[in-house]
Amino acid sequence: MAVNIRPARQEDKKTIVSLIHQAKINPRNLRWERFLIAEENNQIVGVRQVKVHKQGTREVASGCALPEYQHRGISALLMNEILSREKGTLYLMCAKRWKKYYEQFGFRNVKLAELPQIFIRNT
């Protein structure tokens, strides 16, 4: 599998939105400029975004892979690329079933009092 990770381009916008809707992910604050794209043979097979909230809080969000590309490491490739590019604190909100998966990337549970206000409103 030769998967290339690259920043999204404007022409990827429709595909990003389509993938997010197919995955039933909250489509709020989708900005194509903040996405990384995983592609194989010039086909987009996965996406992930870093949302930037007020006061500069950054959140890893809106990530998915095409169903036929799931369980092939696409998400991990995107996460590792994000982590190599991002400096500073990154937040991530996920369902409990995904907790162990994201711990491998250094994410950990935090107390409600440790979260920026933007996340407290969303819990």
Looking at the whole model, is its pTM more than 0.85? yes
What are 42-59's pLDDT values in tens digits?
999 999 999 998 888 999
Q: What is residue 111's three-state secondary structure?
A: coil
What percent of the chain clears pLDDT 70, i.e. is strictly above it?
97
- Look up the domain containing 13 and give its range: 4-120
**pLDDT score, position 122:** 56
- What's the number of domains the chain is made of? 1
CATH number at residue 11: 3.40.630.30
Q: How far apart are CA 59 and CA 93, in angstroms?
A: 8
Q: Where do the DSSP E strands lie in 17-115?
A: 35-40, 43-52, 58-65
Residue 121: pLDDT band by 50, 70, 90 thresholds?
low
